């Protein structure tokens, strides 16, 4: 290059050239000086590389230089931002080649400035404004990159910044990997990589990470862009935030699982309730019958009486468990409210007993809490989630010293429920996000929806849910729900013992249930039994009855069909009907019971309640 002829030739070339050596600029030609705004008599030669390269892009520029490490070796063309003497940017395509410069290694760079668009400036401004106002995220990257981490980002729109929390200068020059995290699906990433390698459009769904490392879901499409010469120049990615859709899908799946659980619980409950009905009824019948014996005889059979009493207590416990399972799985068919906190808490603790046993001691401190304007099922779902979260956060040792305190009180027009534990507490950086969908600290085992669903349930009821916690000092979840006025409780009416001449028809397809009902009612009434709806109709053709008691779910002809027949053929009898349900109450049965407004009992029924109900109807 010392030869004047070659020097003049290089200086007259229409291509911009620069030689870099040992971190400094060794040579530039006239075209490069013109491109970067260096006037005659002034040159960046002998200056550091920062004279022509912005500091934020220096690392990438050095990567380009390093790519041409052997003399005579060229690197692939690469997009790079340079800067003019006045600091304004110049975008160009660089081709690097390793050369010998005065006996030492250097890198010759051929700079092709990107051509200015021939579109009117106002159209370019309109396009930029339109893209920035899109709700979808737009990202443009290079087609290829020398960076090992992947394609380099050259543009993101405002929607990308709003969603991710990154500023443009934090992502320009980086790669899309900055939004990838440990839970991003490797298979989806592999699918994307295969499509990009083949220069094809790619569609996928990905879990991505914001700047604060919170998660969001996107539906993305990446398409290749080709220049006027047909050469692949860029990738354009359109990302649509589908986090809300994913949350709704997960909530729907959870609801469907609960509905399936409800159907299972109802079906199992029906099968349990039939034998449980005659078990409880016969135990009560036996205990009451033995109670009529003389004191001397009762003393002799005291062990038998105690055994029967214990069996009765066990049967009652099974009945409560079945009832609690039904309440938990009631779902959307449950009564919208109001809910009595003490009843809901008793059911919830009964369900959670096995998880709590040996792990934590639960203390309940309930004040005078009015009824709450929320369904018992929904409130029970929230309390169960808070209790299980508390016990799962505790160390899995013998549970010594681990406590959970449940408090209830009234604050103005709200009922307040608190669940407090002395577990490890929650990091402040996490506590602000625990109600977010999909946020979980139980990676691999948690869905991140439990507390989000709790938040949705409580807020939809017009209440609030909040958390107070410090690391090492436990956590307190506080739930506020509007109160609802319950009608004043009136004492149960005193029903006179009916005359033994009153007649009751009992209909059930389960023989042992039928016999237990007959035993329970035969003390006060003359009882006729029928094992099917058609047998009951035959009895009604020839006999008169004061009360007809029948199961609502029977084969051949259901209790609903029997009742409709009675309304037409025996309207007087239809006014004196009591229904019995076994637990498998679907929407059709619920609607029927609500529309006909007749009394009904659920198996396993309380024998005393059954006698009082039938007695009141006879009176």
Architecture of the domain defined by 121-241: 2-Layer Sandwich (3.30)
| Average pLDDT, integer, range 456-484 | 89
Q: What is the pLDDT of residues 488-542, one digit of tens each?
A: 444 444 444 555 579 999 999 989 989 999 999 998 899 999 999 999 999 999 8
Q: In the chain, count of helices (H) and strands (E)?
A: 21, 20
d(CA 53, CA 510): 90
Confidence check: pLDDT of 333 > 60: no
In this structure, which CATH number among 3.40.50.1000, 3.40.30.10, 3.40.50.2300, 3.30.1330.40 belongs to the domain 503-618? 3.40.50.2300
Question: What gap in Å lies between CA 67 and CA 65, rounded to an integer?
Answer: 5
The confidence band for 327, taking pLDDT boundaries of 50, 70 and 90, is: low
Q: Is 259 exposed, middle or buried (0-12, 13-18, 19+ CB in 10 A)?
A: middle
- 369 forms bridges with which residues in the sheet? none
- Radius of gyration of the chain from its Cα atoms, rounded to whole angstroms: 40
Taking the domains of the chain in order of start, what are their residue ranges? Answer: 4-113, 121-241, 338-483, 503-618
**CA–CA distance, 91 with 112 (Å, rounded to integer):** 9
Total residues belonging to the chain = 619
Per-residue pLDDT tens for 136-149?
999 999 887 544 45
- pLDDT for res 335: 45
Average pLDDT, the chain: 82
* Per-residue pLDDT reduced to its tens digit, 416-439: 999 999 888 887 767 667 777 655
Residue 244's pLDDT band, with cuts at 50, 70 and 90, is confident
**In angstroms, rounded to a whole number, what is the distance separating the alpha carbons of residues 537 and 539?**
5
Sheet of 89-101, strands arranged across: 24-28, 16-21, 104-113, 89-101, 78-83
Of residues 473, 321, 323, 446, the one with CA closest to residue 389 = 446
- Residue whose entry in the numeric block shows the structure tokens 């329970």: 520
**Which residue, chain included where needed, has tokens 């008599």?**
41
Q: Find the range with the poorest average confidence among 109-118, 298-307, 471-480.
A: 109-118
Would you call 170 helix, strand, or coil by DSSP?
helix
pLDDT reported for residue 133: 86
Q: What is the DSSP letter of 332?
A: G
Q: State residue 440's pLDDT score.
A: 63
Locate the DSSP E strands across 189-296. 202-209, 215-226, 232-241
Question: What is the sign, positive or negative, of the torsion defined by CA atoms of 288, 289, 293, 299?
Answer: negative
Whether the per-residue pLDDT at 97 is higher than 70: the answer is yes
Predicted confidence band of residue 395 (pLDDT cuts 50, 70, 90): low
Tell me the average pLDDT across 207-217: 92
pLDDT score at 413? 92
User: Which whole-number Å values give the CA distances from 64 to 108, 148, 197, 225, in the listed order?
Assistant: 11, 12, 22, 23
In order of 243, 386, 433, 439, 459, the CA distances from 430 in angstroms are: 19, 17, 5, 9, 21
Average pLDDT of the residues in 590-616: 85
In this predicted model, what pLDDT tens digit does every residue of 171-188 receive, in sequence order?
Answer: 988 889 999 999 899 999
Q: Which fold has domain 4-113?
A: Beta-Lactamase (3.30.450)
Q: What's the pLDDT tens digit per position in 30-62?
A: 999 999 999 988 999 999 999 999 887 788 888
Q: For the purposes of burial, counting CB atoms within 10 Å of the CB of 87, is it exposed (0-12), middle (13-18) or buried (19 or more)?
A: exposed
| Average pLDDT estimate for 392-418 | 82
Residue 223 has a pLDDT of 92
Tell me what percent of the residues of the chain surpass a pLDDT of 90: 32
pLDDT at 487 over 70: no
Q: Residue 330: pLDDT above 60?
A: no
Residue 119 pLDDT > 60, yes or no? no
Q: Across 250-386, where does the E strand assignment appear?
A: 361-366
Give the torsion sign (CA, 363, 365, 370, 374). Answer: negative
Taking the C-alpha atoms of residue 191 and residue 161, their distance in angstroms, rounded to an integer, is: 26
Q: What is the reported pTM?
A: 0.45
Residues 6+ apart with CB under 8 A from 182: 443
Alpha carbon dihedral 257, 259, 265, 266, in 10-degree steps, equals -160
Indicate if 121-241 has the same CATH topology as 4-113: yes
For the segment 283-302, the average pLDDT, to the nearest whole number, is 83
Taking domain 338-483, whether its CATH number is 3.40.225.10 is answered by no
- Per-residue pLDDT for 360 more than 50? yes
User: Cβ(76)–Cβ(146) under 8 Å?
Assistant: yes
**pLDDT for the residue 292:** 78
Beta bridge partners of 361: 403
State residue 19 phi and psi, 5-degree precision: -110, 125
Cα torsion for 301, 304, 306, 310, to the nearest 10°? -170
Q: Please check whether residue 206 is in contact with residue 188, taking contact to mean a CB–CB distance below 8 angstroms.
A: yes
Please state the rounded mean pLDDT for residues 113-127.
Answer: 66
- What pLDDT sits at residue 112? 85
């Amino acid at each position: 290059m010392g030869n004047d002829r070659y020097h003049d030739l290089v200086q007259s070339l229409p291509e911009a050239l620069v030689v870099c050596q040992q971190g400094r600029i060794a040579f530039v030609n006239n075209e490069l000086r013109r491109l970067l705004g260096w006037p005659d008599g002034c040159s960046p030669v002998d200056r550091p590389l920062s004279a022509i390269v912005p500091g934020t892009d220096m690392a990438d520029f050095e990567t380009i230089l390093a790519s041409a490490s052997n003399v005579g070796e060229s690197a692939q063309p690469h997009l790079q931002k340079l800067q003019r003497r006045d600091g304004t940017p110049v975008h160009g395509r660089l081709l690097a080649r390793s050369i010998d410069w005065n006996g030492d290694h250097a890198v010759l760079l051929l700079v092709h400035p990107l051509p200015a668009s021939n579109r009117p400036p106002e159209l370019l401004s309109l396009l930029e404004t339109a893209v920035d106002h899109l709700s979808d995220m737009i990202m443009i990257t290079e087609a290829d990159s020398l960076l090992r981490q992947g394609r380099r980002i050259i543009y993101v729109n405002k929607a990308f910044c709003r969603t991710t929390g990154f500023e443009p200068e934090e992502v320009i020059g980086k790669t899309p990997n900055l939004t990838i995290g440990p839970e991003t699906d490797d298979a989806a990433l592999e699918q994307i990589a295969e499509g990009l390698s083949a220069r094809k459009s790619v569609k996928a769904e990905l879990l991505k990470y914001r700047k604060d490392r919170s998660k969001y879901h996107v539906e993305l499409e990446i398409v290749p862009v080709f220049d006027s010469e047909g050469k692949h120049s860029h990738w354009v990615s359109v990302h649509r935030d589908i986090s809300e859709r994913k949350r709704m899908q997960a909530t729907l799946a959870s609801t469907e699982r609960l509905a399936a659980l409800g159907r299972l619980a109802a079906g199992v409950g029906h099968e349990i309730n039939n034998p449980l009905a005659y078990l409880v009824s016969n135990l009560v019948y036996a205990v009451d019958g033995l109670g009529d014996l003389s004191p001397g005889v009762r003393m002799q059979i005291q062990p038998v009486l105690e055994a029967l009493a214990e069996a009765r207590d066990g049967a009652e416990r099974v009945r409560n468990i079945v009832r609690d399972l039904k309440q938990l799985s009631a779902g959307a068919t449950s009564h919208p409210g109001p809910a009595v906190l003490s009843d809901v808490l008793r059911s919830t603790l009964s369900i959670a007993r096995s998880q709590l046993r040996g792990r934590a001691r639960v203390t309940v401190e309930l004040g005078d809490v009015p009824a709450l304007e929320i369904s018992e099922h929904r409130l029970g779902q929230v309390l169960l989630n808070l209790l299980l979260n508390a016990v799962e956060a505790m160390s899995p040792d013998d549970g010594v010293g681990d406590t959970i305190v449940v408090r209830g009180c009234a604050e103005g027009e709200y009922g307040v429920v608190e669940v407090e534990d002395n577990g490890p507490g929650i990091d402040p950086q996490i506590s602000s996000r625990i109600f977010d969908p999909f946020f979980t600290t139980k990676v691999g085992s948690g869905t991140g929806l439990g507390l989000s669903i709790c938040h949705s349930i409580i807020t939809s009821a017009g209440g609030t849910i909040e958390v107070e916690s410090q690391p090492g000092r436990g956590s307190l979840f506080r739930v506020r729900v509007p109160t609802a006025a319950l009608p004043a409780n009136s004492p149960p009416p005193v029903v006179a013992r009916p005359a033994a001449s009153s007649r009751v028809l009992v209909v059930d397809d389960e023989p042992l249930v039928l016999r237990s009902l007959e035993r329970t009612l035969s003390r006060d009434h003359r009882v006729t039994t029928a094992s099917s709806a058609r047998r009951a109709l035959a009895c009604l053709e020839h006999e008169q009855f004061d009360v007809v008691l029948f199961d609502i779910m029977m084969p051949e002809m259901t209790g609903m069909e029997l009742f409709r027949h009675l309304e037409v053929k025996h309207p007087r009898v239809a006014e004196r009907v009591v229904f019995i349900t076994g637990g498998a109450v679907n929407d059709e049965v619920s609607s029927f019971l609500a529309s006909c407004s007749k009394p009904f009992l659920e198996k396993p029924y309380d024998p005393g309640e059954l006698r009082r109900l039938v007695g009141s109807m006879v009176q």
